[in-house]
Each structure stands twice: as structure tokens, then as C-alpha cells.
Structure 1
Amino acid sequence: MAGQLIVSVSGISDRTCGDVEEFCAALDSREVPLSLLVAPRLKDGYRLESDSRTIGWLTGRRSGGDAVVLHGFDAAATKKRRGEFGALPAHEANLRLMGADRVLEHVGLRSRLFAAPGWTVSAGTALALPRNGFRLLVDLHGITDLVTGTTTRSRVVGIGEGFVTEPWWCRTLVLSAERTARRGGMVRLAVTAKQLRKVGPRQAMLDAIDLALLHGCTPTVYRWETDAPAASAA
């Protein structure tokens, strides 16, 4: 049985949008859509709501079939080596989710899908998400439908943001994608935008994508519907 292929990019801003556009062009030629992991704020003072060019680009990509996934609020690390939502109690997660949701709604990019920075979420965050209307949670080990409570088990492998970027890991990522695709599993690949300007990580992502396609994986994006966590519109 053929598997699925989901490719995501995070860290999208005015400083990285050009690199992401080039990557998108390479995927467009392969007919592979992207899941765009978007945060209202990033390090060094970046604010999405002040970046009209990136907002317009994201809007166009979503209209063309890509998915927009909320990816935290401001990428703050609450504890050493923990992602922004990795250790938050429910009330703090609730405040951050409300703030992030408000910004994305304001710029016309509201999403009911959530992928936490670093791919880890606390129990409090998992509790706060459906209370704020989110329907899909994407984490390190799977994709959870927050309405039905069902989880599709599939580990994400990536370059950057919780994953190392060394050449040996890039090779491991390619081999992992091929193994998963060969057995008809779900191949989930992730990369941070700043890694796309580097030849090694970018080529590793493309090699992994090509191998997944070679083994018959169907390209898709993170989606939600009542009966299949990875099969409806964002």
C-alpha cells in the first residue's frame, strides 16, 4: 500500500521568504504541496503583521493548495532545550494561543491546525488547544484529531528546530524517508527556512522527497476532517 508524504517549512519571514520561494518552486515542479508553519513573531523583533509581502505570499500559497499551520506565538523557550509550548500549564498556553490566533486572524491567515515549535507540547497545551477551537495537533510522534481524539502515529524527521543539521544527519534523514516510504508509511519531513540556503540540507530534503515519490507516496499537507486527521482542508 502506498504511503503519504508531508513536507513542512518553518521560520518563514521577510529574511527567509526568498529561500522558501525557491524551495517551493522545486516542489511545485514535483507537484508536492507544502505545509507552511507560521508564527506571528520570531527572534530579532520580527512581526508578521508588519510584513505585508510575506503575508501576501503566504495567502497566495494557501490559495494554491498549501496549508498554513500555526507554529507558536513568539518562539520563546520557556525552559532550556524546551520549545515554546513544551512545558506550559494550560492557562499560559491559553494566553499564547489566543494571542497568536488573533494575529493570524487579523492578517487573514487564521488556521485551526497547530504545530508547536520544537514539535513538543505540554499536557496543558493539549488541553488548551481544543478550547481555543483548534482541530489538529501536529507533534513529534504523530497527528492528533482534537475533535475525535484519534492519533495517526508517524514520527517527523527534519533539519533544524530540534533536529541537528550536520551532514551525517542529512544522510540519515534521506535513508529514514526511504525506509518509511518503502513500507507504505507516512513520510513527514520538516526543515527550517534558514537551512534552505545551505546546499547540503536543501539537497537532502529534495533527495528524501524524490525517494518518497519514487516509492509511490502521495503528496499531501496537514489537514483536518472528522474521519481522517491528515485529509481535509486547513
Structure 2
Amino acid sequence: MAHLLVSLSGLTDDLAARAGHLADALDQRGVPLTLLVRPCGPDGPLRPGGLVDWLRHRREGGDALVLHGFDHTADPTAARNPIALGRRAEFAALPRHEAGLRLTAARRVLTGVGLRTDSFAPPRWSASPGTVAALTEQGFAVLADEAGVRRLDGAAPPLRGRVLGLRSRSAADVRGPRRLAADATRAARRGEAVRIDVRAVDLGYADRFAAVLAAVDAARAAGAVPADYRLPAAARAA
């Protein structure tokens, strides 16, 4: 059975209203939303009010809250590693100890504004073995990475499926409604998890907003069952 998971990333106070429009549209379709939360952004750590109040409201209404890294520092170990090449994502290469420190700091920020989660999605969906070890040590239940969504205790089969979005890895190519919907349909027909990730900034463009909803509708039409990232959907639907 295919499952449909829609996540929203890049959330800020300025973009909360746009996020609300997507959430309302998904509510009308009976599709839950998974909110990927970065504890520290360009303007500093999350603060009470605004976005945090909206996140709490959505969580109380049934949406999933997932820790999405700490501050998205590109390759935080590179400064101490002269042979490091490129700009890897924040948790893509961290050893266990350093990943643990960042996870602890991230949780502290969330707790400080009254938010909690035991689910984790690394920036760019890339988690090092050290990160996986640190997540397990700290009692995280779920990891969502580029391969799929899985329980770290192995209590349920993983959901396999790549992340679909409006932008390719190069961030230069913006998919049109037909392409994103076609990708979602193919994944659903193969019985894979249809994982649609939306960047909040893209919701300000009418054609991109429409592309997301078209992909959601296409996945549902192809038989995908709505779910979220808190647990593998196969376990939730059992």
C-alpha cells in the first residue's frame, strides 16, 4: 500500500500565513501535514508567539512536528578538516559526539518554547552514521532521510520512497504541476511512500502552490493513503 506524506520546511514568522493556507487546503482534503522545524534560523532561536503559536496550534490539531536539524550550518566540521571538500549538509558528516551536542541544543530550544518531538529529519535528508547513533542514544523514535522513513527501534517496517519537491537538487529547476503530479502518481502506483516536501517560500507563487495540491490530489487518486512522519505509516494504518 502506498502512503502520502506531505512535509513543510523553511518555516519562519514571515511565512506562517502562507503555511496556514497550505494547511487549510490539506485539511479540506483530509491530509495531515508534517512540519519540519529548524530551532535556530538567521534571526536566532525560535521565540514565543507568531510561528511558535501556529506550530503549537497545528500540533494540537493533529499535525506532526519533526526536528529539522539545529541551525543548518553547512558542514560544521569542515573548519577543522582541511581535506573536506564541498559544502555538506549539517548532519551529513558529523561524528556521534558532535551530532549529539547539536541534537541536545536543538531540543533545548524547542523545549524552551513548549514544543517537543521524537522525530528527526536532517537538512537535505542526509544523516551520517554518527547522527543515527546519537539519535538512538537520545531516544528519538523516527528518522526520515533520503531513502525513506524508519523507526530507529525497528518496531515497524520502513517506508521507502524518495523525496519529491518543486526543486531539484540543483535548486535551479522548478518543476511544473504536471511533472510533480506525474512523479507522485508513479510513486503511488509502485506502492512507494509519496513524500512531497514543500518549501514555505514557494507557497507565495500561485503556480507552485497549485503544483503541490495537484500532486497531492494525483497521489490520492492513485490510491495513496494519507499519513505523517511521526511513525511509519504502515504501522499507523495497521
For the criterion TM > 0.5, the same-fold answer is yes
Aligned to 1:35: 34
Q: Answer yes or no: is the 8 Å Cα contact 1:85–1:117 preserved in 2.
A: yes
Distance 1:131 1:229, change over 3 A: farther
Tell me, in whole angstroms, the C-alpha distance in 2 between the residues paired with 1:161 and 1:137.
22
Query: Is structure 2 residue 192 aligned with structure 1 residue 194?
Result: no
Residue 194 of structure 2 aligns to which amino acid in structure 1?
A: V
Tell me, in whole angstroms, the C-alpha distance in 2 between the residues paired with 1:176 and 1:28.
22
Moved more, 208-217 or 75-84: 75-84
Query: Is structure 2 residue 203 aligned with structure 1 residue 206?
Result: no
Distance 1:55 1:198, change over 3 A: same
Distance 1:8 1:188, change over 3 A: same
Tell me, in whole angstroms, the C-alpha distance in 2 between the residues paired with 1:60 and 1:230.
26
Distance 1:134 1:94, change over 3 A: same
Point out the structure with max Rg over C-alpha.
2
Distance 1:85 1:24, change over 3 A: same
Unaligned runs of 5+ in 1: none
Tell me, in whole angstroms, the C-alpha distance in 1 between the residues paired with 2:88 and 2:105.
20
Aligned to 1:216: 223
Aligned to 1:67: 64
Percentage of matched positions with identical amino acids? 43
Distance 1:55 1:61, change over 3 A: same
**Which SS does the other structure have where 2:140 is aligned?**
coil
Moved more, 100-109 or 136-145: 100-109
Q: Answer yes or no: is the 8 Å Cα contact 2:167–2:175 preserved in 1.
A: no
Displacement of 1:220: 1.1
Q: Answer yes or no: is the 8 Å Cα contact 1:19–1:196 preserved in 2.
A: yes
Aligned to 2:81: none
Q: Answer yes or no: is the 8 Å Cα contact 1:160–1:195 preserved in 2.
A: no
Q: What's the CA shift string for 1:18-61, capped at 9, x where partnerless?
A: 11011111111111110000011112x2421x241211111110
Query: Is structure 2 residue 89 aligned with structure 1 residue 92?
Result: no
Distance 1:75 1:206, change over 3 A: same
Q: Answer yes or no: is the 8 Å Cα contact 1:222–1:230 preserved in 2.
A: no
Report how many residues are paired: 226
**Which SS does the other structure have where 1:16 is aligned?**
helix
Distance 1:148 1:51, change over 3 A: same
Q: Answer yes or no: is the 8 Å Cα contact 1:9–1:34 preserved in 2.
A: yes
Aligned to 2:189: 182
Aligned to 1:55: 52
**Which SS does the other structure have where 1:9 is aligned?**
strand
Displacement of 1:229: 6.3
Distance 1:230 1:15, change over 3 A: farther
Aligned to 1:118: 124
Displacement of 1:171: 4.1
Distance 1:108 1:161, change over 3 A: farther
Unaligned runs of 5+ in 2: 79-85
Find 1:77's aligned residue among 58, 74, 77.
74
Tell me, in whole angstroms, the C-alpha distance in 2 between the residues paired with 1:52 and 1:162.
33
Residue 77 of structure 1 aligns to which amino acid in structure 2?
A: A
**Which SS does the other structure have where 1:147 is aligned?**
coil
